[in-house]
Amino acid sequence: MTDIQTVRKTVFDLPEYFPKVPLALAVALALTACSQSPASRETKGGAKLTPAATEARRDLAAPIAKPAAPAVPAPAPKPYQEPLPPRDLTGQILYQSLLGEIAAERGDTGLMLRAYSELSRNTRDPRIVRRAAELALEARNPDYALEAAKLWVEIDPDSPSARQMLAGINVGLGRFDDAVPHVAKLLSLENENLPAALLRLNRLFGRSAEKVSSAKTVETLTEPYLTHPEAWFARSEAASIAGDPKAALSAIDRAIALRPNWELATLQKVQLIHSDNPKAAIELMRVFLEANPEARDVRLNYARALTGDQRYAEARREFESLRRDFPDNLDVLYAVGVLSMQLGDFDAAVPSLQALLDKGYAEPNQVRMYLGQIAEERKRAEEALGWYYTVTLGEHYLPAQARIASVLAAQGKLDEARQNLQKATASTRRERLQLMLAEAQLLREAGRPQEAFELLEAAVAREPDDLDLLYETALMAERVGKVEVTEAHLRKVIAKKPDHAHAYNALGYSLADRNLRLEEAQSLIEKALSLAPGDPFILDSMGWVLFRRGDQAGAFKYLSQALQSRPDPEIAAHLGEVLWAMGRRDDAARIWREAVAQHPGNEALNATVKRFMP
């Protein structure tokens, strides 16, 4: 069955080719078209009426949508004089025009199509035929639209607009062979605008569900133009859309061979190789920039790729270079500020972030959060509070309230911190719950886990089926020794959400840590690991349960992997204990010393070290 939405998108989504005509304007157009001769139709009451076909743009109208690629400007339409037959306005023409338009306005598709079908055949006026095709598409009747478009091309075979409409309808219907001669004709008319038209080929064919057929059609259409690098680019893009990366890469290499300094082709190749080999993609951009230092779009993508590869210092240098080129680009300024923050260069980060606020950055609350975090890192509590208090309602509001509470608690103002959370604005039940969980976290960090547990249990009594609340309460119950509550809550979470990896992990670790039902504990942790492969905390649990079961080599493997993935103090405590048991006491002591230096206040780590190295 034909997807009419595809047909309508193929035709109507192309910019301004086929604008919808209001009823009054359509009637006026019909009357004007029929009542005036070619010599006298230019003016009517002092207003110029431009024939529809003089609005012809090329079928391949909008620039291709490549990430960060430079836009290819759409060529200006060539003047085209539509051949309009001289005709007097007759009563029959006026009647059928009004009948068709009124029927269309009232949704009487059958009457509209019959009226315009007869009017199109009798007048053979291209404007009336075009209007018939438009209305047919709006009425979701692609078959009639196709017939009207064919009649239009028959009447005016040199009309770019007619061929564009006919090609678009055929592509939307999946009739690529029927579309080819019309698109080929359009390409042959482009002359100096041919490169831009080739780049836009996939805008026409790429939306089709028949991706492989679309790619073959693009190959056919580009065959006469293979001396143009744009033809190879179009082939590469079509092959990529069709899921043939090898052909896409081969084609883009041909384009680059024809134009080695072409940014757009280089970015296409980067996109093609990045998922399989991100380092090769980064190197490709680096080499290109050495030869083309002014290639700003490649430099922008290079800087982003370096950030993704966690090469922050190099990324910041590239963004700094871009900032010199784009002093008013807020996204570049944002990147410089955040990367400087990531590198701990707060003296560089703060001015960049404050400049964003001065220049009206679209996400000021995010910037205020960063400035608050920097102030916290600098041990400037009052400055941090000042930034957090300026965060307004939105996605950053609740995190800001949690930071305010944390800063106040660190100043010894726990009661004030709790009051701040209790008074914070919460527009939904979920937001109120998040604030309550933050309050429980404060109590836990303040060494008052029993109060935190009681706060959470009271909330569970009100919200017995909230999975997040059940999970957090289970963890707090473990801390206060209520292991039966821990197990009951976690099993309820698992029953309601069988893919909750951390619930399996928490239950398995709870059993393993108490040296109970170790086979069941390992089974639970294995299930968690299958749901979240590579999670460092689940890897830590697996190492710990293996250690409890006497498998020191297996425990060392998992715990080493976990610590490498995330340098967490409790993971370090576990790995050190395993090394100590294996007789590698110097290695254990080294890991503990490094962890204590980074996390001097961690209770579990300090307790482990004290147990083995009093």
| Per-residue tokens: 553 | 């080599």
Residue 82 pLDDT: 60
Q: How far is residue 194's CA from residue 192's CA, in Å, rounded to a whole number?
A: 6
Burial of 42 (0-12, 13-18, 19+ CB in 10 A): exposed
Sign of torsion over alpha carbons 601, 604, 607, 609: negative
Average pLDDT over residues 275-286: 91
Among 59-73, 157-171, 476-490, 545-559, name the one with the lowest average pLDDT.
59-73
Q: How far is residue 375's CA from residue 381's CA, in Å, rounded to a whole number?
A: 7
Sign of torsion over alpha carbons 232, 234, 235, 241: positive
Share of the chain above pLDDT 70, in %: 84
Q: What is the pLDDT of residues 331-375, one digit of tens each?
A: 888 988 888 898 888 998 999 999 999 999 999 999 999 999 999
In a domain, 506, yes or no: no
Q: How far is residue 233's CA from residue 194's CA, in Å, rounded to a whole number?
A: 13
* Phi, psi angle pair for 17, to nearest 5°: -70, -45
Q: How far is residue 9's CA from residue 543's CA, in Å, rounded to a whole number?
A: 55
Q: What is the pLDDT of residues 534-544, one digit of tens each?
A: 999 999 999 99
In a domain, 426, yes or no: yes
In a domain, 399, yes or no: yes
Average pLDDT over residues 301-315: 87
Average pLDDT over residues 501-510: 96
* Helix (H) or strand (E) segment spanning residue 510: helix 501-513
C-alpha count within 13 angstroms, C-beta hemisphere, residue 111: 14
Residue 33 pLDDT: 37
* Helix (H) or strand (E) segment spanning residue 48: strand 47-48
The pTM of this model reads 0.58
Q: DSSP assignment, residue 292?
A: -
- Sort residue 580 into left (φ over 0), alpha (ψ -120 to 50) or beta: alpha
Task: Count the neighbouring beta carbons within 10 Å of the beta carbon of residue 600.
Answer: 10
Closest residue by Cα to residue 23 from 15, 31, 35: 31
Contact 63, 258 (CB under 8 A): no
In a domain, 258, yes or no: no
Among 322-326, 559-563, 604-608, name the one with the lowest average pLDDT.
322-326
In a domain, 611, yes or no: no
The crossing angle, in degrees rounded to 10, of helices 429-445 and 397-410 is 20
How big is the chain, counted in residues?
Answer: 614
In a domain, 495, yes or no: no
Using CA atoms, how far residue 597 sits from 485, 569, 594, 601, 605, in Å, is 35, 10, 5, 9, 11
Q: How far is residue 185's CA from residue 130's CA, in Å, rounded to a whole number?
A: 19
Instruction: List the domain range (segments joined by +) for residue 376.
Output: 372-434
Residue 48: strand pairing partners: 43
Residue 2 pLDDT: 44
The crossing angle, in degrees rounded to 10, of helices 569-581 and 603-612 is 20
Burial of 458 (0-12, 13-18, 19+ CB in 10 A): exposed
Q: How far is residue 338's CA from residue 333's CA, in Å, rounded to a whole number?
A: 9
Among 64-78, 345-359, 391-405, 466-480, name the one with the lowest average pLDDT.
64-78
Q: How many domains does the chain have?
A: 1
In a domain, 346, yes or no: no
In a domain, 379, yes or no: yes
| Per-residue tokens: 594 | 């490094």
Tell me the pLDDT band of 32, cut-offs 50, 70 and 90: very low
Q: How far is residue 456's CA from residue 453's CA, in Å, rounded to a whole number?
A: 5
Task: Count the neighbouring beta carbons within 10 Å of the beta carbon of residue 204.
Answer: 25
